[in-house]
A = this chain, B = another copy of it.
Amino acid sequence: MTAKTPVFQRIKGDILARIQTGDLRPGDLIPGEEALAEEFGCSRMTVHRALRELSQDGVVERRRKSGTRVARPGGRNVLLEIPRVDQEVAAMGCAYGYELLQREVGAPPEHVRSKLEAGAKTRAVHLCCLHRANGAPYQFEERWINLDTVPEAAEVDFAETGPNAWLLENVPWSDGEHVLSAANADARTAALLDIAEQDAVLTIERRTWRQDKVVTYARFTHPGRFYRLRTSLDRG
Protein backbone atom coordinates (compact mmCIF):
# COMPACT_ATOMS: atom_id res chain seq x y z
CA MET A 1 0.00 0.00 0.00
CA THR A 2 2.98 2.30 -0.25
CA ALA A 3 1.63 3.34 -3.61
CA LYS A 4 -1.18 5.22 -1.89
CA THR A 5 0.85 7.13 0.65
CA PRO A 6 1.54 10.69 -0.46
CA VAL A 7 4.94 11.38 -1.90
CA PHE A 8 5.89 13.98 0.69
CA GLN A 9 5.17 11.45 3.43
CA ARG A 10 7.36 8.85 1.82
CA ILE A 11 10.14 11.39 1.62
CA LYS A 12 9.69 12.25 5.29
CA GLY A 13 9.69 8.61 6.26
CA ASP A 14 12.71 7.86 4.12
CA ILE A 15 14.79 10.63 5.65
CA LEU A 16 13.62 9.77 9.16
CA ALA A 17 14.62 6.17 8.59
CA ARG A 18 18.06 7.23 7.39
CA ILE A 19 18.42 9.17 10.61
CA GLN A 20 17.12 6.46 12.89
CA THR A 21 19.38 3.83 11.41
CA GLY A 22 22.36 6.09 11.92
CA ASP A 23 22.88 6.48 8.19
CA LEU A 24 22.46 10.19 8.72
CA ARG A 25 23.85 11.57 11.96
CA PRO A 26 23.27 14.88 13.77
CA GLY A 27 24.98 17.67 11.91
CA ASP A 28 25.04 15.80 8.62
CA LEU A 29 24.09 17.70 5.51
CA ILE A 30 21.03 16.55 3.61
CA PRO A 31 21.01 17.04 -0.18
CA GLY A 32 19.37 20.18 -1.50
CA GLU A 33 15.73 20.30 -2.49
CA GLU A 34 16.50 20.15 -6.17
CA ALA A 35 18.70 17.09 -5.79
CA LEU A 36 16.10 15.31 -3.69
CA ALA A 37 13.39 16.22 -6.17
CA GLU A 38 15.36 14.40 -8.84
CA GLU A 39 16.13 11.49 -6.51
CA PHE A 40 12.47 10.98 -5.64
CA GLY A 41 11.20 11.89 -9.08
CA CYS A 42 8.94 14.67 -7.91
CA SER A 43 8.77 18.43 -7.93
CA ARG A 44 10.73 20.66 -5.62
CA MET A 45 7.54 21.82 -3.88
CA THR A 46 6.87 18.29 -2.73
CA VAL A 47 10.36 17.89 -1.36
CA HIS A 48 10.06 21.29 0.23
CA ARG A 49 6.91 20.30 2.08
CA ALA A 50 8.54 17.15 3.42
CA LEU A 51 11.58 19.04 4.65
CA ARG A 52 9.52 21.87 6.03
CA GLU A 53 7.48 19.49 8.15
CA LEU A 54 10.59 17.73 9.36
CA SER A 55 11.95 21.12 10.26
CA GLN A 56 8.77 22.02 12.16
CA ASP A 57 9.11 18.73 14.03
CA GLY A 58 12.63 19.69 15.02
CA VAL A 59 14.20 16.76 13.22
CA VAL A 60 16.07 18.95 10.81
CA GLU A 61 17.45 22.46 10.76
CA ARG A 62 17.36 24.53 7.64
CA ARG A 63 19.29 27.65 6.70
CA ARG A 64 19.39 29.42 3.41
CA LYS A 65 22.57 29.01 1.50
CA SER A 66 23.92 26.55 4.09
CA GLY A 67 21.39 23.86 3.39
CA THR A 68 19.53 21.34 5.55
CA ARG A 69 21.19 19.45 8.36
CA VAL A 70 20.08 16.79 10.82
CA ALA A 71 19.33 18.58 14.07
CA ARG A 72 21.27 17.94 17.23
CA PRO A 73 18.58 16.87 19.63
CA GLY A 74 18.79 18.92 22.78
CA GLY A 75 15.83 18.65 25.04
CA ARG A 76 12.82 16.58 24.20
CA ASN A 77 9.68 18.29 23.05
CA VAL A 78 6.71 16.12 23.73
CA LEU A 79 3.05 16.61 23.17
CA LEU A 80 1.22 16.57 26.46
CA GLU A 81 -2.50 16.03 26.35
CA ILE A 82 -4.30 17.48 29.31
CA PRO A 83 -7.80 16.04 29.03
CA ARG A 84 -11.00 17.53 30.34
CA VAL A 85 -11.80 16.06 33.72
CA ASP A 86 -15.25 14.84 32.79
CA GLN A 87 -14.01 13.15 29.63
CA GLU A 88 -11.07 11.68 31.50
CA VAL A 89 -13.29 10.18 34.16
CA ALA A 90 -15.73 8.90 31.58
CA ALA A 91 -12.89 7.36 29.61
CA MET A 92 -12.03 5.29 32.67
CA GLY A 93 -15.59 4.00 32.73
CA CYS A 94 -16.46 5.87 35.90
CA ALA A 95 -19.43 8.07 36.68
CA TYR A 96 -18.42 11.70 36.70
CA GLY A 97 -19.55 13.96 39.51
CA TYR A 98 -19.17 17.71 39.92
CA GLU A 99 -19.58 19.71 43.06
CA LEU A 100 -19.20 23.44 43.55
CA LEU A 101 -17.73 24.02 46.98
CA GLN A 102 -17.37 27.76 46.95
CA ARG A 103 -18.14 30.72 44.76
CA GLU A 104 -17.43 34.34 45.51
CA VAL A 105 -16.92 37.50 43.54
CA GLY A 106 -14.48 40.13 44.60
CA ALA A 107 -10.93 41.36 44.50
CA PRO A 108 -8.49 38.44 44.37
CA PRO A 109 -5.59 38.18 46.80
CA GLU A 110 -2.32 39.71 45.82
CA HIS A 111 -0.56 36.58 44.56
CA VAL A 112 -3.52 35.80 42.30
CA ARG A 113 -3.81 39.38 41.09
CA SER A 114 -0.30 39.19 39.71
CA LYS A 115 -1.11 35.91 37.97
CA LEU A 116 -4.13 37.58 36.40
CA GLU A 117 -1.98 40.56 35.42
CA ALA A 118 -4.78 42.61 36.88
CA GLY A 119 -5.02 46.06 38.38
CA ALA A 120 -5.99 46.90 41.95
CA LYS A 121 -9.62 47.45 41.07
CA THR A 122 -10.04 44.22 39.13
CA ARG A 123 -12.66 41.85 40.39
CA ALA A 124 -12.66 38.14 39.77
CA VAL A 125 -14.86 35.09 40.29
CA HIS A 126 -13.25 32.71 42.72
CA LEU A 127 -14.33 29.07 42.50
CA CYS A 128 -13.48 25.90 44.37
CA CYS A 129 -14.71 22.73 42.73
CA LEU A 130 -14.43 19.05 43.36
CA HIS A 131 -14.54 16.52 40.56
CA ARG A 132 -15.43 12.95 41.41
CA ALA A 133 -15.07 9.56 39.78
CA ASN A 134 -17.68 7.06 40.97
CA GLY A 135 -18.26 9.28 43.96
CA ALA A 136 -14.64 9.33 45.05
CA PRO A 137 -12.75 12.62 44.92
CA TYR A 138 -10.69 12.80 41.79
CA GLN A 139 -9.54 16.35 41.22
CA PHE A 140 -9.67 19.54 43.20
CA GLU A 141 -9.90 22.71 41.18
CA GLU A 142 -9.38 26.22 42.42
CA ARG A 143 -9.93 28.94 39.88
CA TRP A 144 -10.15 32.65 39.37
CA ILE A 145 -11.82 34.19 36.34
CA ASN A 146 -10.85 37.72 35.44
CA LEU A 147 -14.00 39.83 35.19
CA ASP A 148 -12.17 42.54 33.28
CA THR A 149 -11.70 40.05 30.49
CA VAL A 150 -14.85 37.97 30.85
CA PRO A 151 -17.51 40.10 32.55
CA GLU A 152 -20.23 37.62 31.63
CA ALA A 153 -18.77 35.17 34.15
CA ALA A 154 -20.16 37.24 37.01
CA GLU A 155 -23.67 36.18 36.05
CA VAL A 156 -22.96 32.44 35.95
CA ASP A 157 -23.44 30.39 39.10
CA PHE A 158 -21.38 27.34 38.03
CA ALA A 159 -23.55 25.14 40.23
CA GLU A 160 -24.22 22.56 37.54
CA THR A 161 -21.66 23.28 34.85
CA GLY A 162 -17.98 23.32 35.70
CA PRO A 163 -16.03 26.46 34.83
CA ASN A 164 -13.88 24.59 32.35
CA ALA A 165 -16.82 23.53 30.22
CA TRP A 166 -18.37 26.98 30.47
CA LEU A 167 -15.15 28.72 29.47
CA LEU A 168 -14.61 26.38 26.53
CA GLU A 169 -18.08 27.21 25.29
CA ASN A 170 -17.85 30.92 25.85
CA VAL A 171 -14.18 31.83 25.54
CA PRO A 172 -12.84 29.28 23.12
CA TRP A 173 -9.34 28.95 21.78
CA SER A 174 -7.37 31.20 24.00
CA ASP A 175 -3.65 30.78 24.40
CA GLY A 176 -2.40 29.01 27.45
CA GLU A 177 0.48 28.42 29.85
CA HIS A 178 0.82 25.42 32.10
CA VAL A 179 3.11 24.63 35.01
CA LEU A 180 3.39 21.12 36.39
CA SER A 181 4.75 20.39 39.81
CA ALA A 182 4.62 17.93 42.68
CA ALA A 183 3.76 18.91 46.23
CA ASN A 184 2.74 17.48 49.55
CA ALA A 185 -0.96 17.77 50.26
CA ASP A 186 -1.88 20.31 52.89
CA ALA A 187 -4.56 19.51 55.44
CA ARG A 188 -7.41 21.05 53.48
CA THR A 189 -6.51 19.44 50.17
CA ALA A 190 -5.92 16.09 51.83
CA ALA A 191 -9.35 16.21 53.42
CA LEU A 192 -11.02 17.13 50.16
CA LEU A 193 -9.27 14.47 48.11
CA ASP A 194 -9.63 11.88 50.86
CA ILE A 195 -5.92 11.20 51.08
CA ALA A 196 -3.47 11.50 53.92
CA GLU A 197 -1.85 14.79 54.73
CA GLN A 198 1.62 15.03 53.17
CA ASP A 199 0.68 12.58 50.42
CA ALA A 200 2.18 13.62 47.10
CA VAL A 201 -0.12 15.46 44.73
CA LEU A 202 0.41 16.48 41.14
CA THR A 203 -0.70 20.01 40.44
CA ILE A 204 -1.27 21.69 37.15
CA GLU A 205 -1.47 25.46 37.07
CA ARG A 206 -3.05 26.97 34.02
CA ARG A 207 -3.38 30.50 32.77
CA THR A 208 -5.18 31.35 29.57
CA TRP A 209 -5.19 34.53 27.57
CA ARG A 210 -7.56 36.11 25.14
CA GLN A 211 -6.15 38.93 23.10
CA ASP A 212 -3.22 39.50 25.49
CA LYS A 213 -5.50 39.66 28.54
CA VAL A 214 -5.56 36.93 31.15
CA VAL A 215 -8.86 35.10 31.18
CA THR A 216 -8.38 32.71 34.05
CA TYR A 217 -5.91 31.24 36.49
CA ALA A 218 -6.58 27.74 37.74
CA ARG A 219 -4.89 25.12 39.91
CA PHE A 220 -5.79 21.47 39.43
CA THR A 221 -4.70 19.06 42.12
CA HIS A 222 -4.62 15.27 41.74
CA PRO A 223 -3.58 12.50 44.07
CA GLY A 224 -0.12 11.63 42.77
CA ARG A 225 -0.52 7.98 43.56
CA PHE A 226 -3.25 7.51 41.00
CA TYR A 227 -2.68 10.27 38.54
CA ARG A 228 -0.32 10.05 35.61
CA LEU A 229 0.00 12.26 32.61
CA ARG A 230 1.10 10.60 29.44
CA THR A 231 2.67 12.28 26.48
CA SER A 232 2.06 11.05 23.02
CA LEU A 233 4.97 10.80 20.69
CA ASP A 234 6.38 13.89 19.12
CA ARG A 235 9.79 14.53 17.78
CA GLY A 236 12.50 12.44 19.31
Chain A residues near B (Cβ < 8 Å): 16, 19-22, 25-26, 59, 70, 72-84, 87-88, 168-169, 171-184, 198-202, 206, 208, 210-211, 222, 224-225, 227-234, 236
Q: Which of B70, B81, B179, B236 contacts A174 (CB 8 A)?
A: B236
CB neighbours (8 Å) of A82 from chain B are 75-78
Q: Which of B73, B79, B227 contacts A181 (CB 8 A)?
A: B227
Contact: B224 with A178, CB < 8 Å?
A: no
CB neighbours (8 Å) of A210 from chain B are 20
Q: Which of B222, B227, B230 contacts A178 (CB 8 A)?
A: B230
Q: Which of B77, B178, B182 contacts A183 (CB 8 A)?
A: B182
Copies of this protein in the complex? 2
Contact: B211 with A199, CB < 8 Å?
A: no
Contact: A198 with B176, CB < 8 Å?
A: no
Contact: A26 with B224, CB < 8 Å?
A: no
Contact: A76 with B236, CB < 8 Å?
A: no
Contact: B75 with A77, CB < 8 Å?
A: no
Could you list 20 examples of A-B contacts with CB < 8 Å? A70-B172, A70-B173, A73-B172, A75-B83, A75-B87, A76-B81, A78-B82, A78-B178, A80-B80, A80-B180, A177-B230, A177-B231, A177-B232, A178-B231, A180-B202, A180-B230, A181-B229, A182-B224, A183-B224, A184-B198
- Report the separation of the CA atoms of residues A72 and B172 in the bound assembly, to the nearest whole angstrom: 8
